[in-house]
């Protein structure tokens, strides 16, 4: 059993080493392709690219896993908040989550049609529409039309 864990640890270490090497080569290639042409700075080698990766990790605090670890944290926080609520607060929260059931039927159908139109849009279109709304350039009538 102990040998299994050693083998597994070595496989993980090899995978991490290969991943860091591959990403370092990508950073080096992109840097050497773009930065000297745009800014006139000199090209970098592999170790400088690896150093840039480490530096960006330290300065920006990038997380591994591409954001998937945040879901469990959110659920745990919500469960803790739910436990701290009184029965009346839980009832109000549950009622707020189920607001569609108590909505006027005509308004409910309008909202469903609006959401279906939003789902049919591409992510770029939804993002652009959100930006235009935030700037006050378009209103709700654009999405409803």
* Domain housing 84: 68-100
Please state the domain count of the chain.
3
pLDDT in tens, 5-19: 888 889 999 999 999
Residues 80 and 124 in one domain: no
Residues 6 and 41 in one domain: yes
Element (H, E) at 26: helix 2-39
CB atoms within 10 A of CB 131: 11
DSSP 50-115: HHHHHHHHHHH-PPTTTTTTHHHHHHHHHHHHHHHS-HHHHHHHHHHHTGGGGS-HHHHHHHHHHH
**For residue 142, how far is the Cα from the chain centroid?**
27
Residues 119 and 91 in one domain: no
Does the structure show a pLDDT above 60 at 141?
A: no
How much is the mean pLDDT over the chain? 79
Residues 139 and 107 in one domain: yes
Residues 8 and 45 in one domain: yes
**For residue 128, how far is the Cα from the chain centroid?**
18
- Cβ neighbors of 74 (< 8 A, separation 6 or more) are none
pLDDT given for residue 101 in this prediction: 64
Cα–Cα distance between 94 and 77 in angstroms, integer?
17
Residues 17 and 41 in one domain: yes
Cα–Cα distance between 86 and 98 in angstroms, integer?
18
- Tokens 């909202």 sit on residue: 111
Residues 56 and 8 in one domain: yes
pLDDT given for residue 102 in this prediction: 65
Residues 110 and 96 in one domain: no
**Section 39-52 average pLDDT:** 90
pLDDT given for residue 13 in this prediction: 93
Residues 7 and 48 in one domain: yes
pTM (two decimals): 0.41
């Amino acid at each position: 059993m102990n040998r299994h864990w050693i083998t597994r640890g070595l496989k993980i270490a090899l995978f991490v080493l290969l991943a860091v090497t591959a990403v370092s080569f990508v950073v080096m290639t992109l840097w050497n392709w773009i930065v000297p042409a745009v800014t006139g700075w000199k090209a970098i080698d592999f170790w400088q690219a690896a150093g840039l990766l480490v530096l960006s990790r330290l300065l920006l605090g990038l997380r591994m896993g591409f954001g998937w670890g945040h879901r469990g944290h959110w659920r745990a926080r919500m469960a803790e908040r739910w436990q701290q609520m009184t029965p009346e607060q839980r009832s109000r929260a549950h009622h707020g989550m189920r607001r569609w059931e108590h909505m006027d039927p005509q308004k409910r159908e309008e909202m469903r049609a609006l959401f279906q139109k939003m789902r049919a849009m591409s992510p770029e279109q939804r993002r652009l529409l959100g930006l235009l709304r935030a700037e006050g350039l378009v209103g709700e009538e654009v999405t409803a039309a």
